[in-house]
């Protein structure tokens, strides 16, 4: 698994959605939040903004349910989806406990965070250090058994 991971200081999030824009633009060269692999959930009447992104689970429900065996571990240590194998059946979308997999409005295939070839754009563009991408501590039991 990856030694690095995007982690979230969610209390800093101002809800600007720049991460969604940067994500969609990196992957599809278009500004379309609905094609982003990160999502800022907003509860406006409570002033809450929470970025939601792939947690890179240890127990990978998405991979387990995929009938096409389209999920594979990338060099960066995060699960990616093989576009050639994916049929857009949505099984992974149903299985994901964090609701961070969706169908691309362009390819019709399942998409999820792939760490942008090692330089996550959401982290780069976030004005408030809500997201981070760095070496993870490896010592605690919790770190060893529960990612994030």
Give residues in contact with other proteins (CB under 8 A). Answer: 11-12, 14-18, 21-22, 24-25, 28-35, 41-42, 44-47, 49, 105, 125, 127-128
CB-nearer residue toward other proteins: 15 or 61: 15
- The CB-of-63 to other proteins minimum distance in angstroms stands at 27
Contact 67, 91 (CB under 8 A): yes
- The CB-of-47 to other proteins minimum distance in angstroms stands at 4
If we measure between CA atoms, which residue out of 39, 31, 35, 75 comes closest to residue 55?
Answer: 39
CB-nearer residue toward other proteins: 41 or 142: 41
- The CB-of-77 to other proteins minimum distance in angstroms stands at 28
- The CB-of-72 to other proteins minimum distance in angstroms stands at 28
Residue 106 makes CB contacts below 8 A (sequence gap 6+) with 28, 35
CB-nearer residue toward other proteins: 59 or 129: 129
Residue 91 makes CB contacts below 8 A (sequence gap 6+) with 65, 66, 67
CA distances from 12 to 19, 40, 133, 144 (A): 13, 12, 16, 27
If we measure between CA atoms, which residue out of 56, 68, 59, 65 comes closest to residue 3?
Answer: 56
């Amino acid at each position: 698994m990856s030694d690095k991971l995007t982690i979230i200081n969610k209390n800093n999030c101002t809800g600007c959605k720049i991460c969604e824009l940067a994500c969609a633009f990196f992957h599809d060269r278009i500004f379309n939040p609905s094609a982003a692999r990160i999502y800022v959930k907003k509860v406006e009447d409570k002033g809450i903004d929470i970025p939601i992104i792939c947690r890179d689970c240890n127990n990978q429900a998405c991979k387990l349910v995929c009938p096409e065996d389209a999920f594979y571990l990338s060099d960066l240590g995060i699960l990616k989806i093989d576009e050639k194998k994916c049929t857009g059946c949505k099984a992974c979308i149903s299985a994901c406990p964090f609701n961070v997999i969706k169908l691309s409005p362009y390819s019709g295939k399942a998409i999820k965070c792939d760490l942008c070839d090692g330089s996550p754009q959401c982290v780069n563009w976030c004005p408030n250090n809500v997201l981070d991408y760095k070496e993870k501590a490896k010592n605690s039991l919790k770190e060893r058994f529960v990612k994030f």
